[in-house]
Amino acid sequence: MWPVLEEYSFWSIGNGTSVNICSDAGIGKDFRIGDLELDVPVQLQNAKVAALVNEYGVWNMELLHDWLPTHVIERIAALPPPSDSAGADVQSCIYGEYCRKNNDS
């Protein structure tokens, strides 16, 4: 059941410690970096979004440019970076409160 729920969910990034960089939809409701054919650095394959922030609390653009295409970097850069002050990451359902695939309520 969890794989089906994961398919129809996305994350709102808070502190970035719960969202997997590759397998979770953290930079768009229907976008997972792992769905792209990329050579993800070994140290990031199971990392959380918080690993993409530098010591100053901003996106580590140097790290991102090493392995991500420009269109993905632009999507990431448009989001606020994870921060401890933002609270926990929150998983939500794409199709609303009850996670229905259609809108026939």
Residue whose pair of structure tokens reads 């609390």 in the numeric block: 57
pLDDT in tens, 48-72: 999 999 999 999 999 999 999 999 9
- Residue type, position 9, single letter: S
CA end-to-end span of the chain: 22
| Closest alpha carbon to 37 in 7, 88, 72 | 72
pLDDT exceeding 70 applies to what percent of the chain? Answer: 81
pTM above 0.85, yes or no: no
Handedness of CA 30, 1, 11, 56 (dihedral sign): negative
Alpha helices in the chain (DSSP H): 2-7, 61-65, 70-77
- pLDDT band for position 104 (50/70/90)? very low
